[in-house]
Amino acid sequence: MAVITREDIIKPENLVYKRTSLLVDCALSYCPGCGHGTAHRMLMEVIEEMGIQSKTIGVAPVGCSVLAYEFLDIDVQQAAHGRAPALATAIKRLMPEKYVFTYQGDGDLAAIGTCETIHACNRGENFVIIFINNGIYGMTGGQMAPTTLPGMKASTCPYGRDTEIMGNPLKITELVATLPGTCYVTRQSVHTPGNVRKTKRALRKAFEYSYAKKGLSFVEIVSNCNSGWKMTPVQSNKWMEENMFPFFPLGDIKVPAAE
Amino acid sequence: MAKVKGAIVINIERCKGCEVCVDVCPESVIAMNKNVNTKGYHYAMVTNEDCTGCTNCAVVCPDGVITVYRVKVPTEVV
């Protein structure tokens, strides 16, 4: 049997996976090992597979992913801090034929933008909210966020979050699932290959449901913040599995009723 | 039965050395290079020929620096 060399395998006809061309060919501004990069790629792969590049409008938040418009090769509008769902509401109402999504972190969506988020969900606007939950304010230096776990250390709670003084973490995904306006609410993660593929399927379903005017789709992605948590990327993924997942269990929380 | 053989190509300059791909590779193909790229990161490198082209590394890579190729190698029936 002939020996197959590396050069024989690396040919265009044998290609099985490459970075999607819908992500702009530049280095992402995220820290090494950050889940944002994977989430961006899955989002753009879904848009590529559905063939909706020219029909999609994204709304970028304030936070680590503030530069999303630099990386996503689609139309993206930058919103004021926390106001992405309000802006997406306007875009979707003016252009109902477009696929509209917001991409927000936990500080943007669950702290300053709680009002916009809850009311957009309650009105049942037909767009997708992608919520990256890493339990910390990553961009500003690791301060405590609404989703910081009890006992978890952050720069503004260096001895761990004390729920007596600082309150309890906010499970905003469970909260919006109780509202009648949402059609699809799910929590996923992007730290293992299996979870990344599940996230991609969830994103695709979310776009399809919201485009079919079923209501608002809410996809939470539990992500790591290795810089904010002061860990290596691999350690932070393990920590996330051990500590974040018991509090934020993965899986579908609300799915549309079968037709 | 056909055997599957794969190969990965790593974009060294875009690699940030997070080592997530090293952790998920079922065949332990990937390791970190002692040398650094122009950004100063230790980049991922291929260490052996055991790659099956499963795409795990490419799927979890936050920066999408890995491209995967795969071929089926027919084995002779005895």
Task: Report the CATH number at residue A165.
Answer: 3.40.50.970
Q: Using pLDDT thresholds of 50, 70 and 90, give the confidence band for residue A237.
A: very high
**Total number of domains constituting chain A:** 1
Taking any CB pair shorter than 8 Å as contact, residues of chain A touching chain B are: 1, 4, 6, 8-11, 14-20, 23, 27-28, 30-38, 41, 190-193, 196-197, 226, 232-234, 237
**Please, what is the Cα angle at B12 between B9 and B16, to 5 degrees?**
120
In a domain, A3, yes or no: no
Tens digit of each residue's pLDDT (9 = 90 or more) over A3-31:
788 888 899 999 999 999 999 999 999 99
Residue B68 confidence (pLDDT) above 90:
yes
Residue B49 to chain A, least CA–CA distance (Å)? 8
Mean pLDDT of chain A: 94
Chain B residue at shortest CA distance from A34? B62
Tell me whether residues A9 and B6 touch, CB distance under 8 A: yes
Tell me whether residues B62 and A1 touch, CB distance under 8 A: no
Amino acid letter, residue A10: I
- Residues of chain A positioned with their CB less than 8 A from the CB of B61: 37-38
| Optimal mutation site among B69, B72, B75, B76, interface A, most CBs of chain A within 10 A | B69
Q: Which domain holds residue B57?
A: 2-74
* Nearest residue to B62 via CA among A213, A23, A228, A75: A23
Q: What does the pLDDT read at residue B75?
A: 75
Residue A61 to chain B, least CA–CA distance (Å)? 19
Residue A1 confidence (pLDDT) above 60:
no
Q: What does the pLDDT read at residue A101?
A: 97
For residues A175-186, one letter each, b for 16 or more C-beta atoms within 10 angstroms of the residue's C-beta and e for the rest, the string is: ebbebebbbbbb
Q: Which domain holds residue A101?
A: 29-254
Q: Tell me the DSSP string of B8-73.
A: EEE-TTT-----HHHHH-TT--EEEEEEE-TTSPEEEEE--S------HHHHH-TT--EEEEEEEE
Tens digit of each residue's pLDDT (9 = 90 or more) over A128-159:
999 999 999 999 999 999 999 999 999 999 99
Tens digit of each residue's pLDDT (9 = 90 or more) over B3-39:
899 999 999 999 999 999 999 999 999 999 999 999 9
Q: How far is CA A53 from CA A47, A48, A79, A122, in A?
A: 6, 7, 20, 28
Tens digit of each residue's pLDDT (9 = 90 or more) over A182-215:
999 999 999 999 999 999 999 999 999 999 999 9
- Residues of chain B positioned with their CB less than 8 A from the CB of A71: none
In a domain, A74, yes or no: yes
| Tokens at B46, concatenated | 């291929």
- Residues of chain B positioned with their CB less than 8 A from the CB of A190: 60
Q: Using pLDDT thresholds of 50, 70 and 90, give the confidence band for residue B78.
A: low
**Total number of domains constituting chain B:** 1
In a domain, A9, yes or no: no
